[in-house]
Amino acid sequence: MANRIATKKQLGGNNFMIDIETPSVADRLKPGQFVMLMIDDKSERIPMTVVEADPNGGTIKIIFQVVGKSTLQLSRFEPGDSIMECIGPLGRPTEIARFGRVICVSGGTGIACLLPIVRILNEVGNDVISIIGARTCSMLILENEITSACRENYIATDDGSKGKHGFVTDVLKDVIERYQNSGIDRVFTIGPPAMMKAVAEITKICAIKTIASLNAVMLDGTGMCGSCRVFVNGEMKLACIDGPEFDAHQVNFDDLISRLSMFQQKETHAYQCFKERKGSRI
Amino acid sequence: MIKIGGKRVGMKELAPDQRIQNFDSVPCGYTEDEVVTEARRCLQCLHFPCELDCPIRMDIRGMIRAIAFRDFKEAFLIAKKDNPIPGITGRVCPQEEQCEGVCPFSSRGEGVNIGKLEAFVADWALENKITEHFQIKERPEKVGIVGSGPAGISCAVDLRKRGYQVSMFEALHLAGGVLQYGIPAFRLPKEIVDYEISYLEELRVELNLNTIIGQNLSFDELLEAYQAVFIGTGAGAPQFLNIDGERLKGVYSANEFLFRTNLMKAYLFPDYDTPIICGRRVGVIGAGNVAMDVARCAIRLGSQQVFILYRRTRNESPARIEEIHHALEEGVEFIELVNPIRILGDNQGWVTGVELSRMKLGAPDKSGRPRPVKIEDSEFIIDLDTFVEALGTRPNRLFLDNAPQLSVTEWGTINVNDDLATSIPGVYAGGDATRGNATVILALGDGRKAAESIHRYISRSVRG
Ligand SMILES: Cc1cc2nc3c(=O)[nH]c(=O)nc-3n(C[C@H](O)[C@H](O)[C@H](O)COP(=O)(O)OP(=O)(O)OC[C@H]3O[C@@H](n4cnc5c(N)ncnc54)[C@H](O)[C@@H]3O)c2cc1C
Ligand SMILES: Cc1cc2nc3c(=O)[nH]c(=O)nc-3n(C[C@H](O)[C@H](O)[C@H](O)COP(=O)(O)OP(=O)(O)OC[C@H]3O[C@@H](n4cnc5c(N)ncnc54)[C@H](O)[C@@H]3O)c2cc1C
Ligand code: SF4
Ligand code: SF4
Ligand code: FES
């Protein structure tokens, strides 16, 4: 069967990690790219960043957080089950170079999305500093993986249960200050849009070029619908084919945040219906 | 036995109040007796105007003659000879501008109902499991086809019949192009599209879904693997008005609206996962087939009032007459001679209305239609909670960016010569990818023509 789930593991914070057998995607994937999954013939197409691709084994790794119907349904799949469609790789790969000193700021499930970028930035010889955050210590994911892929890794939790008590942006300010003299060449950020917006506001003042990966609502993922439109420097761009990464200083995050809630009422309804039919266990 | 002329046999349809509850086919189709009676009206004109005005020159008289003699199988085989998808063209061709429009009876609006006859024979064959029989003499040469819309389908069928090894690549998870994701089921039931796709599989066309040329398989790899390539990628990228307010929630491109509704079956939500939010008052910009489809879907999704906002008048609308007629029956309202200026929203980011200015018709433009001219200080606002832009689409840049060698126009349509050859030897193109927004039948004709050209090209290179 195509798109068979090879392994599955539950992480903290309602996050799940699965490996999917899909050799054609694994073969071509570059960091920063994503796939669209369709669980069965009644499913929606949902975008998921690929955390790791193994061309030899023909698998890709996905980490997702249960936030609604589709992700809850996916969390109930077990090794051996197959997902109907796994389409990709989609989107433009991250622009990777030897920038110099780079800060990678991520939060929540965004940590998973940023991991492949941290790794490759490190591999090509950047001095990579990472800042990861979560609401609380038990929800923090991939701490070891991130730590081993960069020179320094800082942690922030909203409740202070691990690392700094506060937001990743608080740590970011400290780090920027510390390297004031020697400089910081680039910032990458993936996480909740409000976090990315706050990161961009800080780095804009210091004029550090910042790249954010936008999680706009996608439908086809191939540039045919305009659902994922985002506004960058006043211009309309399609996150699926022009992105998902954009210059964070030019992104209109308020529009992104607003548009992400467009289908909320329907999504909640679908989630409730699914839980009524299939139980609410995660 | 033949009763020539006479009144057109009426087509039974679901009543408007009934059909707006569902996505079932609106026309119910002719019965066997009705179809024979309708066929017998045909004069079998010596100068066959209908055939001359069919873009693929179908043997219309032959098909009608066979129907008149109740030989539906023969009628089907005749139709199928020229047209691989009669069940589809019979339903969606703009017949009034083509075959039927030049029929001598058409001056009274009573032209022989060629489209419905064509659809009948195709449906009859499907029901009675009649297929064409032909022997395929296999050849080793491989042809790659990009896109599974009508252009790709017809090109694939013809090349397979000639024995070529055909691989088709489709970006989406279902094949059929606009037939699948654009045209709603109440106009073109999806069983009919599925049947045509299964026919491709029967012919042993290798169908690669979820394969986006230029993204997960490159154009260069395609050129390397295949002796010839046909590009039938259509024109699937939405265009926006570029006015204020397009960021608002409740604003859609027609493509998104139809994609959610038809391809992803949002009308069956929550049984199907993909949501759509269609408010009580819906405004649709444009007045072509696409706008009519959006408006009629909106009615079925439960909207109370749906407005077609058009800068010309209904008489200039490029939509099929049947679509406009059906839309009006279903309660769609036309607001003519208006042009949107900006979309208005509330502080939650939802659309609340649109500001329009009034237009008047001026001198004819290049298309021969009167050009709409703005009337100064005529702005007014209408309240809406959903706003859909059906402005026409453009070729997808994902493919074009990956094929910079291809010569294209400033609109992104691919340049081709009379044989549909592009600027790259062995690469042919047709349908909306070369024409912009055209029609199913023109795309189909292009696919057939390109298959001819590809056959000649490969035969030539084989002979060396
Ligand atoms: C490029 C990209 C990469 C992503 N990578 C990951 C990832 O690696 N791990 C992960 O957990 N999540 C990722 N997401 C978000 C993920 O797609 C959504 O969480 C998922 O679609 C939610 O589906 P649902 O049915 O479970 O929840 P729903 O109840 O349908 O939605 C919950 C929320 O998720 C968002 N969402 C819903 N549908 C979509 C959609 N079609 N596209 C984008 N966002 C949507 C909306 O904000 C919505 O309010 C990514 C999104 C994008 C655009
Ligand atoms: C809503 C709507 C209603 C319409 N109504 C009518 C009507 O009533 N009558 C009529 O005659 N015409 C109608 N049309 C127009 C008609 O559908 C098109 O002219 C026709 O479908 C064009 O056919 P095509 O094969 O060129 O392209 P399409 O049907 O657009 O098919 C192109 C296919 O190529 C795929 N593709 C694109 N890029 C790639 C890539 N890089 N790799 C792989 N695959 C790719 C697309 O996903 C798509 O499936 C309508 C159009 C729309 C949108
Ligand atoms: S293919 Fe279209 S134009 Fe030609 S005869 Fe059939 S309905 Fe008429
Ligand atoms: S033009 Fe009309 S009457 Fe004449 S052959 Fe064609 S369908 Fe028959
Ligand atoms: S998801 Fe449809 S255009 Fe990006």
In the predicted model, what is the mean pLDDT of residues A86-114? 95
Inspect the interface and report whether the beta carbons of B256 and A241 lie closer than 8 Å: no
Cβ of A252 under 8 Å from any chain B Cβ?
Answer: yes
Cβ of A67 under 8 Å from any chain B Cβ?
Answer: no
From the list B62, B95, B93, the residue with the least C-alpha distance to B76 is B62
CA distance B237 to B120: 34
In the predicted model, what is the mean pLDDT of residues A268-278? 89
CA distance B228 to B454: 7
A residues 95-154 closer than 8 Å to B (CB): none
SS3 at position B404: coil
Inspect the interface and report whether the beta carbons of A70 and B237 lie closer than 8 Å: no
- Verify whether ligand 3 is closer than 6 Å to residue B439 (CB atom): no
* Cis status, amide bond into B340, omega within 30 of 0: no
Is 70 exceeded by the pLDDT of residue B463? no
| pLDDT at site B128 | 94
Cβ of A179 under 8 Å from any chain B Cβ?
Answer: no
Which residue of chain B has the CA closest to A25?
B216
- Verify whether ligand 1 is closer than 6 Å to residue A216 (CB atom): yes
Cβ of A224 under 8 Å from any chain B Cβ?
Answer: yes
Backbone angle region of A81, left / alpha / beta, with phi > 0 → left and psi within -120 to 50 → alpha: beta
* Cis status, amide bond into A89, omega within 30 of 0: yes
CA distance A257 to A109: 17
From the list A247, A258, A229, the residue with the least C-alpha distance to A188 is A247
B225-277 pLDDT, tens digit each:
999 999 999 999 999 999 999 999 999 999 999 999 999 999 999 999 999 99
Inspect the interface and report whether the beta carbons of A261 and B260 lie closer than 8 Å: no
**What separation in angstroms does the CA of A253 have from each of A207, A249, B73, B219, B243?**
18, 10, 61, 35, 19
Q: Could you tell me the distance, in angstroms and rounded to a whole number, from the CA of residue B343 to the centre of ligand 2? A: 28
Picking from A5-9, B62-66, B135-139, B316-320, which range would have the lowest pLDDT averaged per residue?
B316-320
Atom of ligand 1 nearest to the CA of A51: 8
* Cis status, amide bond into B16, omega within 30 of 0: no
B349-403 pLDDT, tens digit each:
999 999 999 999 998 888 788 899 999 999 999 999 999 999 988 898 889 999 9
Tell the residue number behind the tokens 């991130």, with chain if given. Answer: A146
Q: Work out the minimum CA distance from A100 to partner chain B, whole angstroms.
A: 30
The alpha carbon of residue B303 and the mean position of all alpha carbons in its chain are separated, in whole angstroms, by 25
Question: Percent of chain B beyond pLDDT 90?
Answer: 86
CB B430 within 8 A of CB B449: yes
Q: Which of B247, B252, B397 to mutate to test the interface with A (most CBs of A within 10 A)?
A: B247
Inspect the interface and report whether the beta carbons of B173 and A262 lie closer than 8 Å: no
Q: Could you tell me the distance, in angstroms and rounded to a whole number, from the CA of residue B49 to the centre of ligand 3? A: 12
| pLDDT at site B1 | 44
ipTM value, please give it. Answer: 0.95
Inspect the interface and report whether the beta carbons of B173 and A87 lie closer than 8 Å: yes
**What separation in angstroms does the CA of B214 have from each of A85, B69, B328?**
19, 51, 42
A51-80 pLDDT, tens digit each:
999 999 999 999 999 999 999 999 999 999
CB A13 within 8 A of CB A64: no
Inspect the interface and report whether the beta carbons of B216 and A70 lie closer than 8 Å: no
- Verify whether ligand 4 is closer than 6 Å to residue B58 (CB atom): no
Which residue of chain B has the CA closest to A242?
B398
Cβ of A27 under 8 Å from any chain B Cβ?
Answer: no
CA distance A235 to A169: 27
| pLDDT at site B3 | 57
Q: Work out the minimum CA distance from A47 to partner chain B, whole angstroms.
A: 13
Tell the residue number behind the tokens 């309202």, with chain if given. Answer: B333
Burial B209-227 (b: 16+ CB within 10 A, else e): ebbbbbbbbebeebbeebb
Mean of per-residue pLDDT scores for chain B: 93
**pTM score, two decimals?**
0.94
Question: Per mean pLDDT, which of A220-224, A270-274, B127-131, B315-319 is the most reliable?
Answer: A220-224
Inspect the interface and report whether the beta carbons of B215 and A222 lie closer than 8 Å: yes
In the predicted model, what is the mean pLDDT of residues A110-137? 95
Residues of chain B with Cβ-Cβ distance to A71 below 8 Å are none
The angle at the Cα of B195, spanning B194 to B199, to the nearest 5 degrees, equals 115
Nearest protein CA to atom 8 of ligand 3, as residue: B99
Q: What is the CA radius of gyration of chain B?
A: 23
- Verify whether ligand 1 is closer than 6 Å to residue A260 (CB atom): yes
**What token pair was written down for A228?**
């994922």
For the four alpha carbons of A168, A174, A176 and A178, in that order, the dihedral sign comes to negative
By Cβ distance, the residue of A89, A252, A259 closest to B216 is A89
User: DSSP letters along B160-197, please?
Assistant: HHTT-EEEEE-SSSSSSTHHHHTS-TTTS-HHHHHHHH
Residues of chain B with Cβ-Cβ distance to A223 below 8 Å are 236-237, 396-398
Please indicate whether residue B99 or residue A1 has the higher confidence score (pLDDT).
B99
If one counts every other C-beta atom within 10 angstroms of the C-beta of residue B161, the result is 16
Instruction: List, in order, residues 6 or more apart from B371 with CB less than 8 Å away.
Output: B361, B362, B363, B364, B365
Tell the residue number behind the tokens 């003299």, with chain if given. Answer: A181
By Cβ distance, the residue of A38, A225, A255 closest to B238 is A225
Which contacts qualify for B358-362: CB closer than 8 Å, 24 or more apart?
A: B359/B311, B359/B312, B361/B312, B361/B313, B361/B337
Inspect the interface and report whether the beta carbons of B242 and A231 lie closer than 8 Å: no
Q: Could you tell me the distance, in angstroms and rounded to a whole number, from the CA of residue B428 to the centre of ligand 2? A: 17
- Verify whether ligand 3 is closer than 6 Å to residue B386 (CB atom): no
